[in-house]
Amino acid sequence: MENFIAYNPTILHFGRDVLKDLGSVVASYGKRVLFVYGKGSIKETGLYETVISQLEKEKLRIYEYSGIRPNPVIEDVDSASALGKLKDIDCIVAVGGGSVIDSAKAISIGTPAFHSAWDFFTGKAKPKEAIPVIAVLTLAATGTEMNKFAVIQNNRSKNKIGYGHDLMYPKHSFLDPQYTVSVPQNYTSFGITDLIAHALENYFGKGEASLPDRFVYSIVHEAINYGPELLTDLSNVELRGKIMYAATMALNGLTMHGRTYGDWGVHGIGHVLSVLYDVPHGASLSIAYPAWIRLMSDRIPERITELGKEIFGADSPEDTAKKLEAFFSKTESPVRLSQVGIDNSKHQLIRDTLSKNKVSGMNHQLSEADYDKLLELMSV
């Protein structure tokens, strides 16, 4: 095992009706609350009312910032930070999926700063303080509810950057699987893809760590066992809970123990597809992962086969790629660019963007020639 520090101070409230404690938890951080959410689906599910009544019960002053987009953009982060500064907020309540919670984490460091939060993402500045974030999760996917990372998109510079700091852990996260029941089949599927991809990015990172490897197998097994069942029974709260919990465990640090860093090359490729063609994050990963595994087949054949054997009973790198791809297809997550409307005429722009952003893995480097090969593998 490599040396590591395990630290995760987020308090996770998991289960049915846990929101009954939201008001008192928020009130413990102060009176002035910035309430951040997306395009309003929480108004359809009744969650908006529940949150408001919890905050009003405690007589809190509520400032709303809504309209956060699925691939969240820095403009929203900066506008909300300005509002937060103007209203001198004590805490942020973020209600939504990864995009809303990631935005809230960026707002939490952006509010006390006197520059765009983008400077943190590009490394131009380091956060010194943060407004506490209390998250209410509505989509099982990114794991942001229990980690210190946020991924934000910049449409001007055409890139999407992940950044993390110990100040960015949510103080509390509320996970009631009942509020994920309304997530439609395609996004439920993309969430399953996303959680598997997170576990794999760490699995392919640097450092031999046998028990964390077993945790990876456990998490992926769980997704593979219960994911397809959930997709045929979307209102099953018990299954929603299993997937929600698995997604949290996939990226809360557990699978990183004993490793120096994850790989994240596949996420880099996926981010380019999202930023150029607004491909949903999970969908970009189900396209990129099988291609990446095939690309790496003769570089790390044993590592890939070990994974494939544990998860699918596969017996070779190609068999692993094939079975992972078959799983994604079964859950109707796309596995080729053509399935998200990206034809060969767009390869040049994708290739140039990969190149411009120097997309690579931290553990397994990607060369210019690899970009061509990956594009081919994502297309055939």
Among 102, 201, 222, 370, binds a second copy (CB under 8 A): 222
Q: Is the dihedral of CA 109, 110, 115, 116 positive or negative?
A: positive
Q: How far is CA 28 from CA 19, 22, 55, 134, 148, in A?
A: 15, 10, 11, 11, 21
CA distance 22 to 51: 8
Among 45, 218, 236, 357, binds a second copy (CB under 8 A): 218
Measured CA angle at 169 (ends 165, 172), to 5 deg: 170
Binding mask 277-316 for a second copy (x = CB under 8 A): ----------------------------------------
| Residue closer to a second copy (CB basis): 13 or 39 | 13
CA distance 87 to 356: 39
Asked if 261 is part of the footprint of a second copy (rule: CB under 8 A), the reply reads no
Asked if 217 is part of the footprint of a second copy (rule: CB under 8 A), the reply reads yes
Could you tell me the smallest distance in angstroms from the CB atom of residue 183 to a second copy? Answer: 18
Non-local (6+) Cβ contacts of 155 within 8 A are: 73, 75, 275
Among 88, 229, 238, 372, binds a second copy (CB under 8 A): 238
In the window 324-343, what residues touch a second copy (CB under 8 A)?
A: none
CA distance 214 to 177: 25
Among 61, 214, 330, 356, binds a second copy (CB under 8 A): 214
Among 118, 179, 245, 289, binds a second copy (CB under 8 A): 245
Among 35, 226, 289, 312, binds a second copy (CB under 8 A): 226
Q: Bridge partners of 94?
A: 36, 135
| Residue closer to a second copy (CB basis): 160 or 198 | 198
DSSP state of 181: T
Per CB under 8 A, residues contacting a second copy are 1-18, 146, 210-211, 214-215, 217-219, 221-222, 225-226, 238, 241-242, 245-246, 249, 254, 257-258
